Every structure is written in C-alpha cells, then in structure tokens.
Amino acid sequence: MIEISRLTKRYSTKVAVADVTFTAPPGAVTGLIGPNGSGKSTTIRALLGLTRPTHGTATVDGCQYGDLGPYPLRRVGALLDNAAPVPERRGVDHLRWIAQTNGISRRRVDEVLEQVDLTGAARSRVKQYSLGMKQRLGIAAALLGDPDVLVLDEPMNGLDPEGIRWIRELLRRRTAEGATVLVSSHFMTELESVAERVVVLARGQVRAEGTITEVAGGFESLEAAYFHHTTVSV
C-alpha cells in the first residue's frame, strides 16, 4: 500500500505539489496522470525519499522509504525520471551494481535481462541502446529485487507496441499476485486498459481520484475525463 498524505513540496520559486492525498492499494494498478509539470515525478521522488516534503508524508506499507531497511529494492522497485544509466557502462554492469547494493544474486540479473528481452544486448554499452532499450533496462532494474511494490514513472515511454503489451501483462500479473503498482503515464488508452484506479493531478493538486469508472464516468473515455479535470479549474 502506498499512501500519500497531505504532501506538499515547495521549491524556492514554485509549489510543485500542494496538499496531495491519495492511496495506491495492493492488488491494483494505480495510474497517476496529469499535464507536464503537474507534480507526478515530484510525488514519486518524495515517495522514494529523494525529495524532502515541505509538509506531509509519503509512505510504503506505513514506512517512510528510508525506514524500509537496508535492502529497499527487495520491497520497492522504481523506474525514475531523470535517472538514466551512465552511457559508457554496459547494460549488464548497470544491473550488476544495482543488484549488489541490495545483496541480489548475479543469477537474478540474468533473469531480469531475459524478462525484458535484453540478454542479447547485455554486453553492449548503454550509449548504443535505443530509447526503448534504455527504458527496458530501467524496468529490469525495478524488477531486480522482485518487489511487491512497483513505482514506475512513465514506463511506456519509448517502448514499441510489443514492449507496451509486455509491460501491461507484467503489471496485470504482478497485481494478481497482490503487488501494489503506481504508474505515471501520458498514454490514456493504455492506462485505461491496465489501471483499476487513477489519480488526476493538475498544478500540483489532486483534481480527481477513484476507480477508472468513477473518474471517467459521464465521459466518453478516460481521455475526455482527463481534459475535463485538467483544464477546468476546480
């Protein structure tokens, strides 16, 4: 369970997130949507303990990220915005060091490489990867610790249709096993097909929250609801 409670993050010149409250329950995919700059990544960074909230809390299973113990990747897997692998390193080495931080076996590195279909490119340097291959590598890193909580910031960016279908199936399977998944995305149709719940952010505030049916109810589609909630000032 992910709980964001009255989260506010103020930077010197602007408020990125203002009094945001929502939960992402286990066994479901929760979509986090909103225009560019609406505070999705800031919320995720606060959840991962990278950004210090000005007010409020962001917890995983009732714990601040820093209190999850020395091996947090075994409980929370994250794909972060603005955290690319170093281009001159080989893909497999990127996963190796991340695995080592959390005492995860070398065998598991090969497993996740296989899962994201990067086994063949594992020994190439990341600078030779395409956009989608980099994205797959980031997803592989999130899966390393086989965590019950996944926090993915725009995981579908750059993926080909096959990759998108693969991640949809992955998320469905993990939530069926009871995992908690929080996914930010700009792909409304894709999200509609995979998420049970959705949180709409605009200008750092929650504009709508609930099941897809609740949020999109009365609209043609999630996309129509999105435009309604993010353009009409509340």
Partner 1 sequence: MTAPTAPHRPNPGRAGPTRAALRAELTKALTLRSLWIGAGVILALNVYFAQMNVSLLADLAQTLEDGRFVAYDGTVASFETAVRDSILSSPYQSAALFVPLLIAVVCGQEYRTGQIRTTAAAVPNRWRLATVQIIVSVVLGVVVTILAFVMSDVVLLLALPAEGRDVVLSAAGMLVGAKVLTYSAVMSVVAGVLTTVLRSTMPALVAIVAVLVLALSGVLLPLSPLVHGLLPMIAAKTFLFGYAPDATDPSVAAGLVILLGWLTAGAATWFGALRYREIG
Our finding on whether 72 is near partner 1 (CB under 8 A) is yes
Is the CB of 75 or the CB of 197 nearer to ligand ATP? 197
CA distance 38 to 159: 23
**DSSP 3-state percent helix, strand, coil across the chain (nearest 5):** 40, 25, 35
Place of tokens 């995860």: 104
Q: Which does 224 bind (CB under 5 to 8 A by kind): ligand ATP, Mg ion, partner 1, none?
A: none
Interaction residues for Mg ion, span 57-96 (CB under 5 A): 81
Q: How far is the CB of 51 from ligand ATP (least distance, A)?
A: 8
Residues in the chain: 234
Q: Which does 172 bind (CB under 5 to 8 A by kind): ligand ATP, Mg ion, partner 1, none?
A: none
Query: Rounded to the nearest 10 degrees, how much is the dihedral formed by the CA atoms of 102, 83, 200, 3?
Result: 20
CA distance 104 to 47: 22
Q: Which does 90 bind (CB under 5 to 8 A by kind): ligand ATP, Mg ion, partner 1, none?
A: partner 1
Angle among Cα 92, 187, 39 to the nearest 5 degrees reads 85
Q: Which residues bind ligand ATP (CB under 6 A)?
A: 11, 14, 16, 34, 36-42, 81
The CB density around residue 177, as the number of other CB atoms within 10 Å, is 10
Judged by CB under 8 A, the residue of 7, 33, 98, 225 near partner 1 is 98
Q: How far is the CB of 158 from partner 1 (least distance, A)?
A: 14
How is residue 106 written in tokens? Answer: 């070398």
Q: Which does 101 bind (CB under 5 to 8 A by kind): partner 1, Mg ion, ligand ATP, none?
A: partner 1
Interface mask (CB under 8 A) for partner 1, residues 158-187, using x and -? ----xx--x---x--x---x----------
Tell me the one-letter amino acid at 170. Answer: L
The residues binding Mg ion (CB under 5 A) are 40-41, 81
